[in-house]
Amino acid sequence: MNEQHLSKRLEKVAEFVLEEGTVADIGSDHAYLPVYLVGNGLCEYAIAGELNEGPYASAIEKIRANDLQGKVEARQGDGLNVLDGRKADTVVIAGMGGPLIVSILKKGQKFLPDVKRLVLQPNVAADQVRYWLKNNGWSLIDEAILMEDGHVYEVLVADRSGVDPYDLVDMRKQLWLGPYLMEERSEAFHKKWKREYDQLKRIYGQLQLARQKQARHRVEELEQKMRWLEEVLS
């Protein structure tokens, strides 16, 4: 991967940023995405946010090598703190676990009022990100799912539009599986959740053998999730 050719995962993330204004990429991984976005005219200005000194120095060098010092800025800080004194129209947080993404959003709440769009790519536990968005005034407006190098990645896109994609009856299922992804049911979606279904089935069998009273609640939870997956995979 380089500044001209991103991974499929980051290419998909790039599709959802707003062209106008500034994009802030939190945990930028050497500024690959900001350099790509600005270099290809996909946004006006970009901030590469890095916590650690090594990636921060690498981001500075990447920006300099592409002669983008006036359009891409590397900032060192923890999470959304890199926006101190600055504003961003789109915030990207990609390549982290869902709980970490939620933690970054929680700790950086004071920087979010001016943000128009969130593009979030959790490696795991995307449902926790959906829950946070729903409970904190953000509308999930789109989702994508793709496979790359044997891994399945989800991308969640949110704004303040007031759109509510969730059905009251199926909300728990939609928060877990993704309301837009459930509608599309792509090949990547099927592969991800067939793998999860097989894993749930193995755990279910082990709990059944254990016959422990304390396992009853877990068994019921697994039965519910297996029914949901049987519905979407049929």
pLDDT number for residue 4: 61
- Tokens 């959740």 locate to 193
On whether residue 150 sits in a domain, the answer given is: yes
Assess contact for 23 and 71: CB atoms under 8 A: no
On whether residue 39 sits in a domain, the answer given is: yes
DSSP code of residue 4:
S
Adjacent-strand bridge partners of 72: 46
Assess contact for 134 and 179: CB atoms under 8 A: no
pLDDT number for residue 1: 44
On whether residue 197 sits in a domain, the answer given is: yes
Q: Which domain holds residue 14?
A: 8-163
Q: Could you tell me if residue 212 is left (phi over 0), alpha (psi between -120 and 50 degrees) or otherwise beta?
A: beta
Per-residue pLDDT for the chain (234 aa), expressed as one digit of tens each?
A: 445 679 999 999 999 999 999 999 999 988 999 999 999 999 999 999 999 999 999 999 999 999 999 999 999 999 999 999 999 999 999 999 999 999 999 999 999 999 999 999 999 999 999 999 999 999 999 999 999 999 999 999 999 999 999 999 999 999 999 999 999 999 999 999 999 999 999 999 888 776 666 677 888 899 999 999 999 998
pLDDT number for residue 197: 96
> Side chain identity at 189, as an amino acid letter?
F
* Domain final position from 163, 197, 218: 163
> How far apart are the C-alpha atoms of 80 and 26, rounded to whole Å?
7
On whether residue 1 sits in a domain, the answer given is: no
The answer to whether residues 23 and 90 belong to one domain is yes
